[in-house]
Amino acid sequence: MQVQLASKFVNELPADPEKENGIRQVYHSCYSIVFPKKPSNPKLIHANTIVANLLGIATSNLDTEEFVSLFSGEKTYPNAQPFAMCYAGHQFGNWAGQLGDGRAINLMEVTHDGKDFTLQLKGAGPTPYSRNADGLAVLRSSIREYLCAEAMHHLGIPTTRSLSLLLTGDEVLRDVMYDGNPAYEKGAIVCRVAPSFIRFGNFELFAARQDHENLKRLADFTIRHYFQSIKKTGKEKYIQFFEAVSKSTLEMILHWQRVGFVHGVMNTDNMSIHGLTIDYGPYGWMDDYNPAWTPNTTDKQHRRYRFENQPQIGLWNLYQLANALYPLIEETQPLEAILDTYTKAYDSNYLQMMQSKLGFQTNNEDDRNIIQELIVLLQEIATDMTIFFRNLSVVLKNDTPETAFKKIEFAFYNANDCNENIALKWHNWFTKYSDRLQLENVSDAERSNAMNQVNPKYVLRNYMAQLCIDAAEKGDYTLLNELYELLQNPYQEQPEYEKWYAKRPDWAKDKIGCSMLSCSS
Residues that bind ligand AMP (CB under 6 A): 99-103, 129-130, 133-136, 265, 269-270, 279, 281, 519
Query: Smallest distance, Å, CB 322 to ligand AMP?
Result: 22
Query: Among residues 151, 190, 171, which one has the least CA distance to residue 46?
Result: 190
Query: Smallest distance, Å, CB 91 to ligand AMP?
Result: 7
**For Mg ion, which residue of 16, 279, 288, 384 counts as binding (CB under 5 A)?**
279
Q: Do residues 389 and 455 touch, judged by C-beta distance below 8 A?
A: yes
CA distance 338 to 282: 30
Query: Smallest distance, Å, CB 190 to ligand AMP?
Result: 13
Q: Which does 100 bind (CB under 5 to 8 A by kind): ligand AMP, Mg ion, none?
A: ligand AMP
Determine, following the binding rule CB under 5 A, whether residue 204 of this chain makes contact with Mg ion.
no
CA distance 227 to 223: 5
**DSSP code at position 39:** P
CA angle 263, 264, 270 (to 5 degrees): 70
Q: Which is nearer to ligand AMP, 102 or 156 (CB)?
A: 102
Q: Which is nearer to Mg ion, 123 or 490 (CB)?
A: 123
Query: Smallest distance, Å, CB 151 to Mg ion?
Result: 19
Query: What SS3 state is found at 5?
Result: strand
Q: Which is nearer to Mg ion, 88 or 155 (CB)?
A: 88
CA distance 188 to 282: 17
Q: Which does 299 bind (CB under 5 to 8 A by kind): Mg ion, ligand AMP, none?
A: none
Listed ranges 264-272, 346-354, 357-365, 375-383: which one lies at the site for Mg ion (CB under 5 A) = 264-272
Calculate helix-pair angle for 478-486, 462-473, nearest 10 degrees: 150
Query: Smallest distance, Å, CB 136 to ligand AMP?
Result: 6
- Whole-Å CA distances, 456 to 59, 390, 490, 509: 29, 7, 5, 22
Q: Which is nearer to Mg ion, 162 or 270 (CB)?
A: 270
What is the size of the binding site for Mg ion (CB under 5 A)?
2
CA distance 179 to 281: 19
Determine, following the binding rule CB under 5 A, whether residue 270 of this chain makes contact with Mg ion.
yes
CA distance 272 to 270: 6
Q: How many CB atoms lie within 10 A of CB 118?
A: 22
Q: Which is nearer to ligand AMP, 268 or 391 (CB)?
A: 268
Q: Which does 99 bind (CB under 5 to 8 A by kind): Mg ion, ligand AMP, none?
A: ligand AMP
Q: Which does 384 bind (CB under 5 to 8 A by kind): ligand AMP, Mg ion, none?
A: none
Q: Which does 291 bind (CB under 5 to 8 A by kind): ligand AMP, Mg ion, none?
A: none
Q: Which does 39 bind (CB under 5 to 8 A by kind): ligand AMP, Mg ion, none?
A: none
Query: Among all residues, whose Cβ is closest to Mg ion?
Result: 279
Q: Which residues of 359-398 are buried (b: 16+ CB within 10 A; e: fewer)?
A: bbeeeeeebeebbeebeebbeebbbbbbbbbbbbbebbee
- Whole-Å CA distances, 70 to 1, 95, 123, 242: 10, 36, 14, 36
Q: Which is nearer to ligand AMP, 133 or 439 (CB)?
A: 133
Q: Which does 72 bind (CB under 5 to 8 A by kind): ligand AMP, Mg ion, none?
A: none
Q: Is the dihedral of CA 90, 244, 162, 140 positive or negative?
A: positive
Is 269 labeled as catalytic in the residue annotation?
Answer: yes
Query: Smallest distance, Å, CB 89 to Mg ion?
Result: 8
Q: Do residues 361 and 354 touch, judged by C-beta distance below 8 A?
A: no
Active-site entry in 16, 170, 269, 384: 269
HEC letters along 335-372:
HHHHHHHHHHHHHHHHHHHHHHHHCCCCCCCCHHHHHH
Listed ranges 134-142, 179-187, 211-219, 263-271: which one lies at the site for Mg ion (CB under 5 A) = 263-271
Q: Which is nearer to Mg ion, 70 or 105 (CB)?
A: 105
Instruction: Report, as residue numbers or ranges, the catalytic residues.
Output: 269
Residues of this chain that bind Mg ion (CB under 5 A): 270, 279
